[in-house]
Amino acid sequence: MRVTRNALLAGAFSISACVLLAACTSTTGGEASPAPATSDSTAPSSGAADPDVPKVTAPPLDAGKYTTDTCALVPQDVLGSLRYTDAGEFRPQGTSSDTAAGPSCGWTIHGEGMGLQVILGTGNREKGVGGLAGFYAAYRDGKLIKFLEPAPATEGYPTIYVDISDRRADGSCAIAVGVADDLAIDVQAEGYQGQDDSCGAATQAAAAAIKTLKGA
């Protein structure tokens, strides 16, 4: 995730996917060429043997349609209820630390220091560290992710709180929802007043994204 809150809230959304997501802990050198986002990875998940990793028991969701339009995952009426009125900033999957995890969309409330970001973990899936298993593996490693806690399921899909540390009381909340055993959606809310506000916003956006995928 982002190292300083100001970087995110300036509108650049420099929450580093490398810090939050497990793909960076498994890359030892060079840059892998991303496979097509809609293809299924055959590499084993790094956390597949971890009994603590919750399995996706609901029908797996296909997010391929949204790899080039990630902003469409959260409908405008939901964004409006969260007071995000400006268009989101789409960032395609790339090779930098901020984009390697997958495509994303970020929204800000200018002048209030609040931000929301949704990341599709297709890049992690392609590297064989996708889904919630990748987060658990990075947490077990302990170098980047130092906070992971089960969260209430989102629309029937397993969910965790995950971050570089537990910053929920400070108004920063990040959750990951497993929509398939090898694919997760990561939602991050920053600059809120406390845990209820930040996690409430992240959960509402995540639930909206899951509903969008169910209807795709």
Q: Is 165 exposed, middle or buried (0-12, 13-18, 19+ CB in 10 A)?
A: exposed
- 3-class secondary structure, 159: strand
Q: How confident is the model at residue 37 (pLDDT cuts 50, 70, 90)?
A: very low
- Give the pairing type, strands 114-120 and 183-190: antiparallel
Answer whether residue 12 shows pLDDT above 80: no
Matching residue, tokens 């391929």: 64
pTM exceeds 0.85 for this model:
no
Tell me what the pLDDT averaged over the chain comes to: 81
DSSP structure class, residue 65 = G
Give the pLDDT mean for 76-92: 95
Question: Given this model, what pLDDT does residue 31 score?
Answer: 33
Q: Which amino acid type is present at position 102? A: G
Q: Rounded to whole angstroms, how far apart are CA atoms 186 and 69?
A: 15
Q: How confident is the model at residue 81 (pLDDT cuts 50, 70, 90)?
A: very high
Q: Which amino acid type is present at position 28? A: T
Q: How confident is the model at residue 18 (pLDDT cuts 50, 70, 90)?
A: very low
Q: How confident is the model at residue 97 (pLDDT cuts 50, 70, 90)?
A: confident
Q: Rounded to whole angstroms, how far apart are CA atoms 107 and 149?
A: 25
φ and ψ at 187, to 5 degrees?
A: -125, 130
Answer whether residue 91 shows pLDDT above 60: yes
More confident residue, 110 or 137: 137
Contact 116, 107 (CB under 8 A): yes
